[in-house]
Amino acid sequence: MKYSTGEIVEIGDNVGLGDDLEGVVVCNFDLRQYTMDFTEIEWGHLKSGVLIRFPKFGLIHYEHQVERELFLIGRKQTNIL
């Protein structure tokens, strides 16, 4: 899955949505990557897309593509299982 800029969505990415909403990519189902807090045992039933945690909205699963308004703020190292 890619951002509208063509960059690949990666685990740990800090992302923005709208004017003031920031989130973190916690799973990449296409690559079968999970963080320690969002494990394959818990989330492996989802087969495609990415899962992003937003403080305001909670978890959002983008199955086929992310919103055009979603943008990469920065990359962060995270514990991938």
Per-residue model confidence as pLDDT tens digits over 3-50:
999 999 999 999 999 776 899 999 999 999 999 999 999 999 999 999
User: What predicted TM-score, i.e. pTM, was given to this entire model?
Assistant: 0.88
pLDDT band at 76 (very low <50, low <70, confident <90, very high): confident
Q: What is the pLDDT of residues 13-23, one digit of tens each?
A: 999 997 768 99
| DSSP line for the chain | -B-TTSPBP-TT-EEEETTTEEEEEEEETTTTEEBTTB-HHHHTT--SSEEEEETTTEEEEESS---TTEEEEE-----B-
Confidence of residue 78 (pLDDT cuts 50, 70, 90): low
